[in-house]
Structure 1
Amino acid sequence: MLFFSSFYYLMCLENEILKTLYLKSIKDIKLLKENFEASLDISRILKNANSVV
Protein backbone atom coordinates (compact mmCIF):
# COMPACT_ATOMS: atom_id res chain seq x y z
CA MET A 1 0.00 0.00 0.00
CA LEU A 2 1.25 3.45 -0.88
CA PHE A 3 0.21 6.83 0.53
CA PHE A 4 0.89 9.64 -1.94
CA SER A 5 -0.57 13.17 -2.19
CA SER A 6 -3.21 12.44 0.47
CA PHE A 7 -4.49 9.30 -1.30
CA TYR A 8 -3.99 5.57 -0.76
CA TYR A 9 -2.97 3.25 -3.59
CA LEU A 10 -2.41 -0.47 -3.86
CA MET A 11 0.90 -1.21 -5.50
CA CYS A 12 1.70 -4.58 -7.05
CA LEU A 13 4.00 -6.24 -9.52
CA GLU A 14 2.40 -8.34 -12.26
CA ASN A 15 4.55 -9.95 -14.98
CA GLU A 16 7.43 -7.62 -14.06
CA ILE A 17 5.17 -4.56 -14.54
CA LEU A 18 4.63 -2.21 -11.60
CA LYS A 19 0.94 -1.35 -11.21
CA THR A 20 -0.73 1.13 -8.90
CA LEU A 21 -4.46 1.09 -8.22
CA TYR A 22 -6.34 3.95 -6.58
CA LEU A 23 -8.11 2.40 -3.59
CA LYS A 24 -11.26 4.44 -4.10
CA SER A 25 -11.81 2.78 -7.50
CA ILE A 26 -11.24 -0.83 -6.35
CA LYS A 27 -14.44 -2.86 -6.01
CA ASP A 28 -15.33 -6.38 -4.85
CA ILE A 29 -12.30 -6.94 -2.62
CA LYS A 30 -12.14 -10.37 -1.02
CA LEU A 31 -10.22 -10.89 2.20
CA LEU A 32 -8.26 -14.14 2.10
CA LYS A 33 -6.60 -16.03 4.93
CA GLU A 34 -3.46 -16.43 2.82
CA ASN A 35 -0.37 -14.47 3.76
CA PHE A 36 2.71 -13.56 1.79
CA GLU A 37 6.03 -11.89 2.32
CA ALA A 38 7.23 -9.22 -0.05
CA SER A 39 10.44 -10.58 -1.49
CA LEU A 40 11.18 -7.66 -3.78
CA ASP A 41 13.14 -4.52 -3.08
CA ILE A 42 10.31 -1.99 -3.40
CA SER A 43 12.62 1.03 -3.43
CA ARG A 44 14.55 -0.48 -6.37
CA ILE A 45 11.31 -1.05 -8.28
CA LEU A 46 10.08 2.50 -7.60
CA LYS A 47 13.41 3.99 -8.63
CA ASN A 48 13.30 2.14 -11.97
CA ALA A 49 9.58 2.74 -12.65
CA ASN A 50 8.56 4.81 -15.65
CA SER A 51 5.82 6.50 -13.64
CA VAL A 52 4.41 6.08 -10.18
CA VAL A 53 1.04 7.53 -9.33
Structure 2
Amino acid sequence: MNVRRWVGRLLAGEFIAMASTQIRGASNAKAQKGLGWTPRYASWRQGFTAMMRR
Protein backbone atom coordinates (compact mmCIF):
# COMPACT_ATOMS: atom_id res chain seq x y z
CA MET A 1 0.00 0.00 0.00
CA ASN A 2 1.37 3.40 -0.93
CA VAL A 3 0.56 6.40 1.23
CA ARG A 4 1.65 9.95 0.63
CA ARG A 5 4.31 11.06 3.10
CA TRP A 6 2.17 13.89 4.49
CA VAL A 7 -0.62 11.39 5.25
CA GLY A 8 1.87 9.09 6.97
CA ARG A 9 3.17 12.04 8.96
CA LEU A 10 -0.37 12.84 10.13
CA LEU A 11 -1.15 9.25 11.06
CA ALA A 12 2.16 8.00 12.45
CA GLY A 13 4.35 11.03 13.11
CA GLU A 14 7.39 12.57 11.46
CA PHE A 15 9.92 9.92 12.53
CA ILE A 16 7.91 6.98 11.18
CA ALA A 17 7.21 8.84 7.94
CA MET A 18 10.91 9.61 7.53
CA ALA A 19 12.02 6.09 8.50
CA SER A 20 9.60 4.60 6.01
CA THR A 21 10.73 6.76 3.11
CA GLN A 22 14.36 7.78 3.66
CA ILE A 23 16.30 5.47 5.99
CA ARG A 24 18.15 2.63 4.32
CA GLY A 25 17.52 -0.95 5.33
CA ALA A 26 20.03 -2.99 7.29
CA SER A 27 21.32 -6.52 7.06
CA ASN A 28 21.73 -8.94 9.93
CA ALA A 29 23.95 -11.26 7.87
CA LYS A 30 27.09 -10.41 9.87
CA ALA A 31 25.42 -11.31 13.19
CA GLN A 32 23.99 -14.47 11.70
CA LYS A 33 27.33 -15.59 10.32
CA GLY A 34 29.69 -14.46 13.09
CA LEU A 35 27.54 -15.10 16.15
CA GLY A 36 25.20 -17.82 14.97
CA TRP A 37 22.31 -15.47 15.70
CA THR A 38 18.87 -16.07 14.23
CA PRO A 39 15.99 -13.60 14.28
CA ARG A 40 13.02 -14.32 16.54
CA TYR A 41 10.61 -13.85 13.64
CA ALA A 42 11.11 -14.90 10.04
CA SER A 43 9.87 -11.55 8.72
CA TRP A 44 9.16 -8.05 9.96
CA ARG A 45 5.48 -8.67 9.25
CA GLN A 46 5.40 -11.59 11.67
CA GLY A 47 7.20 -9.50 14.28
CA PHE A 48 4.72 -6.62 13.88
CA THR A 49 1.80 -9.04 14.21
CA ALA A 50 3.25 -10.56 17.38
CA MET A 51 3.97 -7.11 18.83
CA MET A 52 0.43 -5.92 18.18
CA ARG A 53 -1.02 -8.97 19.95
CA ARG A 54 0.78 -8.17 23.22
- Under a length normalisation based on structure 2, what TM-score does the superposition of the two structures give? 0.24
The answer to which structure has the higher helix fraction is 2
- Under a length normalisation based on structure 1, what TM-score does the superposition of the two structures give? 0.24
The answer to which structure has the higher strand fraction is 1
- Bigger radius of gyration, 1 or 2? 2
